[in-house]
Amino acid sequence: MSGYEAREAAWTKLEAHAADLAKTPLKALFEADAERTARFTKSAAGVTVDLSRQRLTGDTLKLFLDLAREADVSAKLAAMGKGEIVNPTEGRAALHVALRGSGSAVDARASVDRTRGEVKVFAHEIATGKRQGAGGPFKSIVHIGIGGSDLGPRFLYDALKRFRRPGMTMRFAANVDGAEIADALEGLDPATTLVVVVSKTFTTQETMANADAARAWLIAAIGEAKAKDHVVAVSAAPDRAKAWGAGAVFPFWDWVGGRYSLWSAVGLSCEIGLVDDAFQQLLDGAAAMDAHVFETPLPDNLAFRAACVQSLNRLYGMKTYALIPYGRRLQLLPAFLQQLEMESNGKGVDAEGRTLKRSSAAVTWGDAGTNAQHSFFQLLHQGRDVTPVEFLLIERGSEGPASHRNMLLANVLAQAQALYEGKTEAAAKQELLDKGETPKRAAELAPHRAFTGDRPSTMIGLDALTPKTLGALLAFYEHRTVLQAWLAGVNPFDQWGVELGKQMAAGLLPALQGDEVKNVDPATKAWVEKLR
């Protein structure tokens, strides 16, 4: 049997197992195993993952271990840590772990350490006023980038509000809709603003348009010569960045994909915008999770177990999952994870180019609880399609009025419980009768007030909301994503699927500016004609 056939055979066994297990209610799994919660809850680096309310058993994990063996998962993990080529379509290593000091890729070490040192010095000089702008010490940063060059820093800065550097404002611009850069620059003083342009390629249309606008805004106020000191780039194309007008350029290596790049100089603006050491703490937290993932055998490995559950739910036909962080500070996490998971694993062919027989990624979506409860939770509780939910809570610490903490926690626990328990029609009817409804009305209303329950969820606890635990959490998600990809046989490090639309947008721009509309479908032609 070839490696591919062995992998497929392992999947076939899992499919049969899932078809069987689908008939077992979650409650029956708990009844059969008094230790279930403990058995399916593991912690590492300040992150606790409770999978007990997912429809899996010890046998499920064993079958996934068989699959992992056939898919060479442990060998691939080791190869990634060593800096070997694990991105075959681009012939590259994937060394995001090296950026936080993990793995053993010696070749990358020197340039990573050098850049880390340079970023720290630069950030320190900006923060202390040693490096000044035309109007004195810098007071604001405008971070320009999109996708992986935006979502990580944006999430981090939002989540770590309590760790922001006093006196420093940070804004973000990603969208090519001019409203975004206009909002980002509004009210700032160009003479005290540092523009950080992050683009691996330094060709991304949105980023270049926003960077040009920001640079023009600087030049109009302080002149071209001084503007240079106000613009810094992070790019794998330093010559292009310098030719464009960046005063300093920090490297962004080929071997790190945008969505895995927060740990690199891509985090420069956060290094400046957050208090001293916060960024280093983030890296340390990620390294602690790396140590767990690299050193823990797969059966007890947090990221592997979570990757199995994500893969299993797709076998149950669940095409999406909802990520619901409680609460406000983790609001941007779903957006970050959408890129990480869907850009990495939303593939149609395996790493060798064979058409996949089953889906390799679920749609990630979600919003912060409790707001989400008052928006789309109706469907999660009573819709015909079952959507697994991943809840995230912060165990210690809170902000604002102290009384809010327990309300927030009661809500997250209740939602998971409600999905699991449900409410029978008989119980709903009895409640209505108890409230004084007539038997006829109670019978009419009960179906509307019943919940099937038996709906799976994961509960993730973060020890506290700190740079360190966030680093561990994001590293956990990176590893879970990559391990899922390898189980499915896909390459998580390329993203060819984003290219076609980019090519077509480049082709349509001249048409929108008045050129003849050529080689487009009738609907596109009609829209171009309406819009120009």
Bridge-partner residues for 233, per DSSP? 197, 249
Tell which residue, 474, 501, 392, 394, has the closest CA to residue 148.
Answer: 474
Q: At a CB cut-off of 8 Å and minimum separation 6, what does 363 contact?
A: 319, 320, 321, 342
Residue 456 interacts with ligand F6P (CB under 6 A): yes or no: no
Q: Judged by CB under 6 A, which of 55, 96, 200, 468 binds ligand F6P? A: 200
Residue 207 found at the interface with ligand F6P (CB under 6 A): yes
Q: Per CB under 6 A, which region of 144-152, 287-295, 423-431, 462-470 contacts ligand F6P?
A: 144-152
Site string for ligand F6P, 483-502 (x = CB under 6 A): ------------x--x----
Helices (H), 129-195: 151-159, 178-185
Q: Which residues contact 65 (CB under 8 A, 6 or more apart)?
A: 298, 299
Question: Whole-angstrom Cα distance, residue 531 to residue 511?
Answer: 10
Q: 10 Å Cβ neighbour count for 484?
A: 26
**Is 210 a binder of ligand F6P (CB under 6 A)?**
no
199 makes contact with ligand F6P (CB under 6 A): yes
Please state the separation of Cα 453 from the chain's center in Å. 28
Give the residue closest to ligand F6P by C-beta: 258
Residue 455 interacting with ligand F6P (CB under 6 A): no
Residue list 21-80, contact with ligand F6P (CB under 6 A): none
Task: Give me the 294-333 binding string for ligand F6P, x by CB under 6 A, dash otherwise.
Answer: ----------------------------------------
Give which of 149, 138, 121 is closest to 230, Cα–Cα.
138
Q: Which residues from 244-263 bind ligand F6P, rule CB under 6 A? A: 258-259
Per rule CB under 6 A, is residue 334 in the interface with ligand F6P? no
Residue 431: active-site member: no
- What burial class does residue 65 get, using C-beta atoms within 10 Å of its C-beta: 0-12 exposed, 13-18 middle, 19+ buried? middle
- What is the contact mask toward ligand F6P in residues 335 to 354, using x (rule: CB under 6 A)? --------x-----------
DSSP one-letter string for 251-313: E--TTS-GGG-TTTGGGHHHHHHB-TTHHHHHHHHHHHHHHHHHHS-GGG-HHHHHHHHHHHH
Query: According to the binding rule CB under 6 A, does residue 267 interact with ligand F6P?
Result: no
Is 124 in the active site? no
Q: Which stretch binds ligand F6P (CB under 6 A): 195-203, 288-296, 314-322, 458-466?
A: 195-203
Q: Which of 54, 204, 264, 373 binds ligand F6P (CB under 6 A)?
A: 204
Which among 21-29, 116-124, 141-149, 161-169 is the span making contact with ligand F6P, rule CB under 6 A?
141-149
**Residue 466 binds ligand F6P (CB under 6 A):** no
**Residue 529 annotated to the active site:** no
Residue from 103, 147, 285, 422 that binds ligand F6P (CB under 6 A)? 147
167 φ, ψ (degrees, to nearest 5): 85, 0
Q: Are 486 and 76 in contact (CB under 8 A)?
A: yes
With beta carbons less than 8 A apart as the criterion, state whether 268 and 274 touch. Answer: no
How far apart are CB 207 and ligand F6P at their closest, in Å?
5
Joined together, the tokens standing for residue 372 give 């989400």
Single out the catalytic residue among 23, 374, 440, 518. Answer: 374
Which of residues 450 and 508 has its CB atom nearest to ligand F6P in the complex?
Answer: 508
Which entry of 206, 271, 343, 390 is annotated as an active-site residue? 343
- Min separation Cβ 289 and ligand F6P, Å: 22
Residues 102, 80: Cα–Cα separation, whole Å: 11
Neighbours of 11 (CB within 10 A): 22
Residue corresponding to tokens 């007008």 = 245
Q: Which residues bind ligand F6P (CB under 6 A)?
A: 146-149, 199-201, 204, 207, 258-259, 343, 495, 498
The catalytic residue positions are 343, 374, 502
